[in-house]
């Protein structure tokens, strides 16, 4: 499940305002939309668009790169 939240929902989030999060559009293989070729491994899939996909840096997409964790909070059951 994907959950979308707004920055205002995270009042104590420690983001780095100097980090630029570029989004790049790249084409996918027309025979298999799950195949994409981008040489820079610091980028990952952000979202799919018609005829391709948009990618962004992993630092911008994954909170673990900014000190986050994959442990469930205690209030999750």
Enumerate residue ranges in the chain where pLDDT < 70.
13-20
Give pLDDT tens digits for 1-14.
Answer: 778 887 778 777 66
The residue ranges of every structural domain in the chain are: 16-29+36-66
Residue 19's pLDDT is 55
Structure tokens at 20: 């630029």
Q: How far apart are CA 38 and CA 29, in angstroms?
A: 12
The pair phi, psi for residue 17, each rounded to 5°, is -65, -15
The pTM (predicted TM-score) of the whole model is 0.59
């Amino acid at each position: 499940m994907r959950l979308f939240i707004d920055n205002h929902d995270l009042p104590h989030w420690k983001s780095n305002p100097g980090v630029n999060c570029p989004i790049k559009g790249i084409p996918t293989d027309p025979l298999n939309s799950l195949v994409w070729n981008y040489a820079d491994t610091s980028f990952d899939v952000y979202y799919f668009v018609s005829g391709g996909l948009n990618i962004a840096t992993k630092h911008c997409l994954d909170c673990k790169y900014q000190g986050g964790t994959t442990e469930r909070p205690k209030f999750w059951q």
